[in-house]
Structure formats: C-alpha cells, structure tokens
Amino acid sequence: MNVIIIEDEPRTAKDLNGILTGLDSTINVQAMLSSVTAAITWLKANPAPDLIFSDIQLGDGLSFEIFKEVPINVPVIFCTAFDQYAINAFESNSVDYLLKPIEEDMVERSLQKYHRIKEHYAGSTYASNLSNVITQMDVTYRQSILVHYREKIIPVKVADLCFVHASNGIVMLHTVNNQDFAVQYTIDQLETMLNPIQFFRANRQFIINRDMIQDIEHFFNRRLILRTHCQTPEKIIVSRLKAQELLRWLEH
C-alpha cells in the first residue's frame, strides 16, 4: 500500500513513518512532504497513492488548499493539534482524523477504518465526501464583531482583541487599546466565530489572543496561569487537562 505524509514537523513526520511501517510491512511511504506547495507539485507529478496522512496547518497555508488544487479520489486521514476544528465533519463524511500528539494505537485504528471503507472511496463518491469536509472545515471566521455602544453600532476588529471575558452572564470584548465592549453573544458562540489558530479557550471565562500572551507560569496541581499584555479582571487559570492542549497550540 502506497502512502504519502504531508507534515511540516520533521519529528512528527518521521515518527508517523515509523509507526506506519511498524504496523504494516506492506506500507510504502512514498514521500514526506512539508508544505502545501510541495504536496501540490508531488501529486501533480506522480500517480495517486492509496492513502494520505495530512496535517491541517502547514507553514505555507492550510492543507485544504492542496485538495482544492489537485482533485483526488484518495482517502485522507487528517492530523491536527486543534480539537476546536469541526471534528464532526470528518466523522460524518467517513474521513478519519488524528489529534496530536499521534500515538501508535490511534494510527492503528485509522488504518483499520481505512481497510473497512476503502472500497467506498472509489470514483466520484469520495471526491464529493472530501469536498464536503473541506467546505465544513475551511470556514471563514469573523474579521470584526459588531457591538452596541452609546447609541452607536461599532465594528470591533477581531485582530484588536486581547481577550474575551465572561462573568455573571455578561460577555466583554477587551481590546489592545484597553477598551471594553459588552456583546450579546455567549462566550461559546464567540468561540465558534474566532479562528482557533489565533484564539484559545483557556477556561469558561476567557478566550485569549495568541499575540497577546506575555508568559505562562506553573500553578498548583499542574495547572497554569496565563498572563497577557493587557490587564485582566481575574487570573487566567488553565486546568491540568487543558494545559497540554494550550502548550501544543502555542507551539503551532
């Protein structure tokens, strides 16, 4: 079985290669490609493999751009460090995903799923399913949020947000200019509007902007305290369960 790996982290690509060949000696990893550009070039110049493992966020863009540029009838198992992505889109279209860090048992389950459903991916049916995944996943996030302020409606640029804070049923946008705006949205609704590559839901009270993070401090019981360049109304405490997710998000 011919496989290609699209992954811009050399260590992750190497580990995945080793896991695949260790699980199935018939697997031939034809190429490990580290960018959207390299993947498009390879797929245009070579016969399609039997299976593709692809990271979502690559150094030069999202991997969805690859499959828009090169129509393929090959199952794709997506890899991501961001569980904020619409995982249901994968499952409803029979396309699997791996949540980083990738472990051997996860890869084994994905391969088992591939073997169960690979005949389903022949012809135009798969192309349609993959298109549905890309449409659902490649969403357009908000560039601004409208707020009501002193009898006016003001567009607040998402890029200017330092953090979102929820307390006592009130949700506030806090900007880099130290302005606060109340919004009618819940913090859960705002989480779906903001690009998860740029914004992280630290806890029930806070969504923070990656660019506004000043530092992180270890806290009691393996929790973390996150500090931003803007003053916050209370400490941003990240739970033990979310701490590793936060650190993986920052590395990407």
Please name the helix (run of DSSP H) or strand (run of DSSP E) that holds residue 199, with its range, or none. Answer: strand 199-201
Angle (CA) 126 23 130, round 5°: 15
Q: Are residues 14 and 110 in the same domain?
A: yes
Claim to verify: residue 33 and residue 133 sit in the same structural domain: yes
CATH number at residue 222: 2.40.50.1020
Find out whether the peptide bond into 47 is cis, omega within 30 degrees of 0. Answer: no
What percent of the chain has a predicted confidence (pLDDT) above 70? Answer: 85
CATH of the domain at 85: 3.40.50.2300
What's the token pair of residue 51? Answer: 């299976």
The parent domain of residue 148 ranges over: 144-251
Phi first, then psi: what are they for 21, rounded to 5°? -70, -25
Exposed e or buried b for every residue in 212-223, given b needs 16+ CB within 10 A? bbeebeebeeeb
- Say yes or no to pLDDT of 89 above 60: no
Residue 240: name the closest of 220, 215, 226, 213 by CA: 220
Domain boundary among 104, 137, 170: 137
Q: Are residues 51 and 163 in the same domain?
A: no
Please report the pLDDT score of residue 137 as a whole number. Answer: 58
CA dihedral sign of residues 66, 67, 70, 76: positive
* Whether 126 and 88 share a structural domain: yes
The model's confidence at residue 49, banded by pLDDT at 50, 70 and 90, is very high
Do 121 and 183 lie in a common domain?
A: no
Domain stop point among 137, 152, 178: 137
The packing angle between helices 104-117 and 10-23, to 10°, is: 60
Q: Which amino acid is at 161?
A: L
Residues 127 and 17 in one domain: yes
Per-residue confidence band for 252, with pLDDT thresholds at 50, 70 and 90: low
| 184, 225: one domain | yes
* Domain identity same for 92 and 119: yes
Beta strands in 23-176 (DSSP E): 28-33, 51-55, 57-58, 61-62, 76-80, 97-99, 144-149, 152-157, 161-167, 170-175
Average pLDDT of the segment spanning 115-131: 62
Of the residues 89, 117, 137, the one at which a domain ends: 137
Q: Are residues 95 and 63 in the same domain?
A: yes
Angle CA 146–151–152, to nearest 5? 35
Is 173 found in the same domain as 101? no
| More confident site: 223 or 125 | 223
Task: Tell whether 7 and 95 lie within a shared domain.
Answer: yes
Is the pLDDT confidence value at 178 over 80? yes
Give the pLDDT of residue 138.
Answer: 54
By the 8 A CB rule, do 181 and 149 touch? Answer: yes
| Domain identity same for 28 and 79 | yes
**The most confident of 47-51, 170-174, 188-192, by mean pLDDT:** 170-174
Q: How many domains does the chain have?
A: 2
Instruction: Return d(Cα 247, Cα 179) in angstroms, integer.
Output: 28
